[in-house]
Structure 1
Amino acid sequence: MEIINTKEIVKKYGFKFTKSLGQNFLMDNEVLKDIVEGAEVSKEDFVIEIGPGVGTLTRKLLNAAKSVCAIELDSDLLPILEQELKDYDNFMLVHKDALKVDFNEITAREKSVKLVANLPYYVTTPIISKLLTGGYVFKSLTIMIQKEVAERIAAKPNCKEYGALSLLVQYYCDTKIIRKVSPESFIPRPKVESIVIRLDRLSEPRVKVKSEKLFFTIIRNAFNMRRKTLWNALKQLKLSKENLENAFLAAEIDPKRRGETLSIEEFGKLSDNIYDIINQ
């Protein structure tokens, strides 16, 4: 097995970490191997990597995939990546903020697209949201993220981790936790544990709703103030008392319940009944 030493590459180029970019580079070869295997990367796949760092994971992806497009914001890393990966003709480097990238432009004509990344913690939720709601053609996202965020993504109703992020991801994807990763696996060491999680895109959303916009508005309102009952949380919708009562009645949901007790199917049912009342 090829051993890639992240520490040595960092030292070789005298690279200085930028705290504001959330840079924590992975240096554990077992974890790198598990990420690539967990993502089930094959020679059929066009892989996008966000935040390649010094190219430690990128190299393993390049050996396994058809091609890899790495998106890096830090201009100081570009010459390092170009030098370290110069022998790979299936490597493409984009200098851009991932939140501003049109992934459809990059993946045009590609049949099998997977995203594999060690995401900076501070942009984890915005990037996941962009990737899932932007109409992109990813088969799966295999991402290393903060343990608490991964637990929220995979959470089921009736636990404190369950919330708007759980429902957003589970609306679009099946989730599978690949492995835990300790702080010792990174340079510099983060203060928290990480988890590698894979999100497999569903061919259709998990529930069919009449208005996705209303569905997610109701979910956000339900979790903005977790201790509120659904009745109090959904007063934000500015429906009359009678209409709100009728919506709960038609959905067979007790308005005294809290958002964290509702399944995704129940949120879908409530959303559709409110939609019908709004549009009658």
Structure 2
Amino acid sequence: MSLADMPPLRDALERHDLLARKSFGQHFLLDLNITRKIARLAGIGPEDVVVEVGPGPGGLTRALLETGARVVAIEMDSRFMPILAELGEAADQRLEVVQGDALKVDASRAVGGVPAHVVANLPYNVGTQLLINWLTGPFLPVSMTLMFQKEVAERIAAQVNDDAYGRLAVIAQTVCEAKIVMDLPARAFTPPPKVNSAVIKLVPRAVIPPAAELAALERVTAAAFGQRRKMLRSSLKALGGGDLCEKAGISPDIRAENVPIEGFLALARATLP
């Protein structure tokens, strides 16, 4: 059986008696028109290698495989292994399934160390931490096209002085260009979540700060946005307060939400020896 001959995803779910598990943050995206659009937005094509987290019954997986790409899917829930195995057979074994917790799986090792994209409808309960891990860890994808709760996607793409601007925006946009490319209503999912979703695409910048600067940036933004209503002289007191701001050339009398990304980078560098 080829991918084109496979039955609708809802039929496969019924045949395998599969339901979403709330404890895993599962909401299935079964509309192939939507998943194919996500694959197009990601720019995936033949010969590309893609990491997908939380494929579930394989709605997005199927669309990615239709592009001719090789997909490495990381799935914790063993119930989906048979249905994903069927999908792999239909795609001439271009699907490899790694059973495990995506927070613990070495994605670089899973793809054999080759450059890879990440395209995923991320589980709601671990999505933000996974993104931070990719942005600041040893595995930086060629691109990331990720579905989040809409509120989280807006936080990633937020600009300075926006209400949603915070630590996540600073770290994400330091490493990548980030843009929301698609909105999805709750009714697009089975079962529908309580919130709407959005797809955001992140592409690494040509120049990325070294690991030590990124680690310092995490510390500075955690302190600054941990007390976001306070002036920097107070919120950054443990890191040097006013002296740190002076060293970085940043006013100590402004709040974190008013500091542009370049300012946070200056503060991060000022904490280093």
Q: TM-score normalised to the size of structure 1?
A: 0.89
Per-residue deviation, residues 100-122 of structure 1 (Å, max 9, x unmatched): 11112122252x41111100111
Q: How many residues align?
A: 269
1:40 matched residue in structure 2: 43
Whether 1:249 and 2:253 are equivalent positions in the alignment is no
Larger Rg: 1
| Residues in 1 aligned to 2:68 and 2:235: alpha-carbon distance in whole angstroms | 47
Distance change in 2, residues 1:247/1:19 (3 Å): closer
Whether 1:122 and 2:122 are equivalent positions in the alignment is no
| Residues in 1 aligned to 2:203 and 2:266: alpha-carbon distance in whole angstroms | 24
1:211 matched residue in structure 2: 213
Extract unaligned runs of 5+ from structure 1: none
**1:245 shift after superposition:** 3.4
Which residue of 71, 79, 82 corresponds with 2:82?
A: 79
1:95 matched residue in structure 2: 99
Question: Which runs of structure 2 are paired with 1:1-280 in the superposition (5 Å)?
Answer: 5-88=8-91, 89-110=93-114, 112-205=115-208, 211-237=213-239, 239=240, 244-275=241-272, 279=273
| 1:139 partner SS | coil
**1:272 shift after superposition:** 2.6
Q: TM-score normalised to the size of structure 2?
A: 0.92
**1:61 shift after superposition:** 0.8
| 1:100 partner SS | coil
**1:226 shift after superposition:** 1.4
**1:236 shift after superposition:** 2.0
Aligned-residue CA RMSD (Å):
2.0
**1:210 shift after superposition:** 6.9
**1:47 shift after superposition:** 0.8
Distance change in 2, residues 1:273/1:20 (3 Å): same
Q: Does the 8 Å CA contact 2:145/2:202 hold for their aligned counterparts?
A: yes
| Residues in 1 aligned to 2:267 and 2:62: alpha-carbon distance in whole angstroms | 47
| 1:36 partner SS | helix
| 2:142 partner SS | strand
**1:30 shift after superposition:** 2.5
Q: Does the 8 Å CA contact 1:164/1:219 hold for their aligned counterparts?
A: yes
**1:164 shift after superposition:** 0.5
Per-residue deviation, residues 227-254 of structure 1 (Å, max 9, x unmatched): 11111101122x4xxxx43432343322
| Residues in 2 aligned to 1:149 and 1:108: alpha-carbon distance in whole angstroms | 31
Distance change in 2, residues 1:191/1:94 (3 Å): same
| 2:97 partner SS | strand
**Identity score, percent:** 36
| 1:62 partner SS | helix
| Residues in 1 aligned to 2:32 and 2:179: alpha-carbon distance in whole angstroms | 21
| Residues in 1 aligned to 2:64 and 2:142: alpha-carbon distance in whole angstroms | 16
